Structure formats: C-alpha cells, structure tokens
Structure 1
Amino acid sequence: MKRWLALINPLKYGKYFYSSQSGHLIQQDDPGLIISSIKLALQDYDKIKKEISR
C-alpha cells in the first residue's frame, strides 16, 4: 500500500480507495465505494474543466 500512496499523494486529483470489506470483486462486495469514487471523479473532472477554462 505504501507504494500506491507514494504514487498517488503527489497528484492534485489522485485518490486511493481501500476497502477492508471487499475481496477481488469490489463491485459486488462494496458497491457503495464504487459509486462514491465515481462521484468524486466527476467532481474532480468539473474542477479540472473550470481550471482549464480560466
């Protein structure tokens, strides 16, 4: 996990999600995490679009 965090932390919009409640099929084991991560990605996309249009 430390290697992933070292990769993600310097990124302005990078995020790392960890679910202790899921196995290999996270979409079945923790669908709420998938939905939340998609929502956050869309919010970041909107922020990036606004930054570019300035």
Structure 2
Amino acid sequence: MHVKSFARNFARNFVRDFARDFLRDFARDFARDFLRDFARDFVRDFLRDFESVTP
C-alpha cells in the first residue's frame, strides 16, 4: 500500500511540477522572444516607412 501511495503521489507531484515549470518557462521565453522580435520589426518598419514619406 505504501509503494502504491508513494508512486501515485510521486507521479502526481512530478506531473504538476513539470507542467508548472514548463508552462512558466515557455510563457517567459515566448513573451521575451515575441516582444523582442515585435519591437525590432516594428521599429525597422516604422523607420523604413518614415524614410519613404520624408523628402
């Protein structure tokens, strides 16, 4: 009984912790990369468009 309980608790905790850590890291990395790329592309496009309309 103790082994089954231990295995069940271990599996539940492992899945919970893995999911929490994975989602936290994924969200952090996605937000960082998305914001960096968005800012870079936005500034690049804005400057290109600004140069094209200025004489």
Q: Does the pair score TM above 0.5? A: no
Higher relative CO (Cα under 8 Å, sequence separation at least 6) belongs to 1
Higher Cα radius of gyration: 2
TM superposition score normalised by structure 2: 0.42
TM superposition score normalised by structure 1: 0.43
